[in-house]
Copies of this chain bind each other. A is one copy, B any other.
Amino acid sequence: MNKIYPDAHAALAGLLRDGITIMSGGFGLCGIPELLIAAIRDSGVRGLTVISNNAGIDAAGLGLLLETRQIRKMVSSYVGENKLFADLYLSGALELEFNPQGTLAERIRAGGAGIPAFFTKTGVGTLIAEGKEVREFDGENYVMEKGLVADLSVIHAWKADREGNLVYRKTARNFNPVMATAGRITVAEVEHLVEPGALDPDHIHTPGIFVQRIVRAATFEKPIEQRTVRKRGN
């Protein structure tokens, strides 16, 4: 069964419908599926719910889909770097659900692992716990959070083989592996496509079972959000 698609548009063909829920990997602009996001923009699909830790910046990442008003609702933990986001939100054009970052990651992992709900200490006694069940275990209070799944997950990886086994690079891993497990269909944009057997099976981060389609991001300059350096000779 072929999982390799020639370009991002082909890799998304038949998967996009108005109103679907999409998980999009990455932390800030690190490890985001840039080409797939651009292809979603070009498709013109609307009314999306997007689950992503951040919302990109103006003119990059999910910022592309904010510009075109294709996103109806964001489920995120931090959306600070995007001016357009603020404008849309304050004008009521965009719905927003905040999740603590760990709760978001765990909800996605739970969704992928068939766990409809779990308890966590995070958020007890805060706005986050409002309307949710709070229960005591061993004398401490925990809030019940629900698993998350998506119609489609779009993720970014460093290397893939034809089976869909994925390897990520450094902190570009972040939300990508858990989102791969929680998408009904997962499409991976990868920097390198390698021959079967080229990945050491002990080093694979995402087994191919979680990846239905793969597209190579042939040329793509990775953005840096905050360039911080030290002087040589320090």
Which A residues are closer than 8 A to B by beta carbons? 106, 110, 113-121, 135, 137-138, 140, 142, 146, 167-170, 173, 200-203
Contacts and interface: CB of A to CB of B under 8 A. Distances in A.
A118 B115 contact: yes
A72 B10 CA distance: 59
Nearest to A168: B202
A114 B123 CA distance: 13
15 contacts: A106-B115, A110-B118, A114-B120, A114-B121, A115-B118, A116-B137, A116-B142, A117-B118, A117-B135, A117-B137, A117-B142, A168-B202, A170-B201, A173-B202, A203-B203
A119 B117 contact: yes
Contacts of A119: 115-118
A-B interface, 3 closest residue pairs, ranked by CB to CB distance from nearest: A116-B137, A118-B118, A203-B203
Nearest to A167: B202
